[in-house]
């Protein structure tokens, strides 16, 4: 049985393991087992492991638990760091907020230590619980695919090597290795949805619905998702272009596609343009698609959809970016890079902001670009105070260029990694 665990870790990282792999460790059984397995794997393959613990500061025991991980790492010669979170204001879903904060903190830690890949200790039980919770929300194929074994978020690769392992298997492994772990009391608190779902799984087991079975279903749905993503990618190559940071789709060709392909193209367009971590809600996308079919404009996730001639344009709304400014050397709105090829240009006092109505009024040749007026309003421009210096996408300002970070290929590539 334990050989299966080591094999799962090997499958996740070979043949090219990172020079240093980060491991997120809470002190619970799943993550401690993962750390021990990763330590053995890295030792065997001549690489290193570095552990990180996030203390959310929500329970008095949290400091002791973090220290127990630090002590474990010291005994095994593993580098370890503890990060602290104090950002919860008491509103919203605590577990969701803590999870988002954890990813952000660990991503920053990984970049600081030049770690490209971080391992997470999610198990088949976690996968089953996730599937049931998403089923309760009437999720589609993507939601029912569960947690991905590998994903990229905050420019860090996150790997879940133990998604095929059961929680009991990992605790048996720790007992066999004579390794202690700490059970988080919040895992018994029924006020949390995941805890209630865990209890519901016990009721379903007599019906043959167990964690391993549900995890297998999630894997099968993930394969279906891959097939849909591939078809969506092929369609996009034929009927989608990128112009001024907007996604432009041939309307007639879009309408003959199955509804699910249409939906996926729109969802990915929204995600790519807005930079939102999670896809737009199905209801919002359905409303946008309904408006599109009536020839009307629609909005979702800070983006707008409009029919222009025989094309569907999906682009950034003006309001979400109206107050965003950035130094010339930084990305604007998290995606735009503005450059000037003239080295003699005076860049002092310049910043990037939205073009807007006043800026567009100062661009006499904007109509010659062929880009719709609403699209140009939310594009980036170079300003010196209140003076417009350049608006490359509206045809104003010599030698200036505005490019989306990653270019058009980043949109097509995202369709496959969606």
Binding residue ranges for ATP: 26-31
Q: How far is CA 7 from CA 25, 112, 177, 222, 333, in A?
A: 20, 30, 17, 21, 43
d(CA 329, CA 356): 21
| Cα–Cα–Cα angle for 336, 370, 342, rounded to 5 degrees | 45
Does the CA dihedral 91-92-96-101 come out positive or negative? negative
**DSSP H or E segment with residue 247:** strand 246-250
Does the CA dihedral 144-149-151-154 come out positive or negative? positive
What are the DSSP calls for 334-392, one per residue? TTEEEEES-TTS--TTEEEEE-HHHHHHT-TTGGGGT--HHHHHTSEEEEETTEEEEBG
Task: Name which of 227, 198, 228 is nearest 210 in CA terms.
Answer: 198
Q: Which residues are annotated as a binding site?
A: 26-31
d(CA 311, CA 326): 32
Q: Which residues contact 305 (CB under 8 A, 6 or more apart)?
A: 266, 288, 291, 292, 297, 298, 299, 312, 313, 314
Q: How far is CA 372 from the centre of its chain?
A: 30
Q: Which residues contact 209 (CB under 8 A, 6 or more apart)?
A: 201
Three-state DSSP class for residue 209: coil
């Amino acid at each position: 049985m334990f050989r299966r665990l080591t094999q799962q870790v090997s499958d996740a990282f070979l043949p090219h393991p990172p020079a240093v792999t980060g491991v997120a460790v809470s002190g619970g059984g799943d993550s401690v087992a993962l750390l021990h397995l990763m330590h053995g794997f890295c030792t065997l393959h001549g690489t290193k492991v570095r552990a990180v613990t996030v203390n959310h500061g929500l329970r008095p025991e949290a400091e002791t638990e973090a220290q127990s991980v630090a002590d474990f790492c010291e005994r095994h010669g593993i580098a370890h760091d503890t990060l602290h979170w104090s950002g919860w204001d008491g509103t919203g879903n605590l577990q969701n907020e803590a999870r988002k904060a954890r990813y952000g903190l660990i991503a920053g830690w990984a970049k600081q230590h030049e770690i490209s890949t971080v391992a997470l200790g999610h198990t088949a039980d976690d996968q089953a619980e996730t599937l049931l919770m998403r089923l309760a929300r009437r999720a589609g194929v993507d939601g029912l695919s569960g947690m991905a074994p590998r994903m990229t978020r905050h420019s860090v690769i996150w790997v879940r090597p133990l998604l095929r392992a059961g929680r009991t298997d990992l605790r048996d492994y720790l007992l066999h290795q004579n390794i202690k772990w700490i059970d988080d009391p919040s895992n018994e608190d029924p006020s949390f949805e995941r805890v209630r779902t865990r209890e519901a799984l016990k009721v379903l087991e007599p019906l043959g619905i167990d964690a391993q079975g549900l995890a297998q279903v999630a894997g099968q749905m993930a394969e279906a998702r891959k097939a849909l993503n591939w078809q969506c990618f092929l369609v996009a190559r034929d009927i989608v272009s990128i112009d001024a940071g907007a996604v432009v789709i041939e309307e007639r060709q879009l309408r003959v596609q199955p509804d699910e392909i249409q939906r996926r193209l729109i969802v990915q367009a929204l995600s790519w343009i807005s930079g939102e971590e999670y896809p737009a809600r199905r209801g919002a996308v359905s409303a946008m698609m309904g408006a599109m079919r009536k020839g009307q404009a629609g909005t979702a996730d800070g983006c707008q959809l409009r029919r222009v001639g025989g094309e569907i344009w999906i682009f950034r709304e003006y309001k979400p970016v109206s107050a965003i400014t950035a130094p010339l050397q930084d990305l604007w709105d998290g995606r735009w890079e503005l450059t000037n090829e003239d080295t003699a240009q005076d860049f002092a006092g310049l910043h990037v902001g939205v073009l807007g109505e006043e800026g567009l009024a100062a661009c006499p040749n904007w109509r010659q670009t062929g880009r719709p007026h609403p699209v140009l309003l939310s594009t980036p421009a170079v300003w010196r105070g209140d003076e417009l210096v350049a608006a490359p996408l509206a045809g104003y300002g010599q030698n200036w260029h505005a490019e989306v970070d990653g270019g058009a290929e980043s949109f097509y590539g995202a369709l496959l990694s969606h």
